[in-house]
Amino acid sequence: MKKVLILFFALFAAFGPLQAASGDQFTLKSLDGQTLKVQGVENGLIFDRFKGKVVFLEFWGTHCPPCRMSIPHYIELQKKYKDRLAIVAIEVQGTPAESLKAFVQSQGINYTVIPHQNALDFVDYVAQRSGWHGSIPFLIILDPQGNFVTAQVGLLSQDALEGVIKTLTKRNASQNAKQAETPAAAPAPKAPSDK
């Protein structure tokens, strides 16, 4: 498993971080009517509803065989890691909303799905920042602070994805523990008074 993770991070680090000026903001409406606010930051994306979770942001299509093959993996991972993982899937082949809704229901998808027509500006924004040229599935992984970790074109195994979740949540817990151990700055000494 360790070899898979090392290979995963090494192979896909070539995509580089998502470069942007902070302040870019988007509002996305999911298939089930939920509103999701996303803010572009220097090295990633902050999803308002998913702070503190690993985020898998996938661009996919209903007519894409590898995309369809990843659905059962994502369903299982979302069930198993619901407190640590958020999956946001943006359908980019232009499937009409009603057809997409029927597809999501027939597959039992239990994660956030956003129709392409509800995310046009955001899709363009991510493409410009990441250098993505439209091949799907395209997965961007963000750590619990919203920092870019890696990007992947093509299908990843459930084991590799699960390893990434465990690694990132373990790293996050370690960082939180270190922050909790750091003593607060001592108050500045008071100046002696002249009496």
* Cα–Cα distance, 93 to 113 (Å, whole number): 13
Closest listed residue to residue 71, CA positions, set 47, 105, 38: 105
Q: pLDDT tens, 116-146?
A: 999 999 999 999 999 999 999 999 999 999 9
Phi, psi of 45 (to 5 degrees): -140, 135
Note whether 40 and 25 are within 8 A (CB): yes
pLDDT band at 183 (very low <50, low <70, confident <90, very high): low
Radius of gyration of the chain (CA): 20
- pLDDT of 18 > 70? The answer is no
pLDDT over 70, % of the chain: 78
Q: How confident is the model at residue 31 (pLDDT cuts 50, 70, 90)?
A: very high
Domains located in the chain, CATH noted: 2-170 (3.40.30.10)
Q: What are the tens digits of pLDDT across the range 80-130? A: 999 999 999 999 999 999 999 999 999 999 999 999 999 999 999 999 999
Measured in degrees and rounded to the nearest 5, phi and psi for residue 14 equal -60, -20
Residue with tokens 């599935």: 137
Q: Which residue did the predictor score with more confidence, 57 or 186?
A: 57
Per-residue CA distances from 38 to 67, 131, 152, 192 (Å):
23, 19, 21, 51
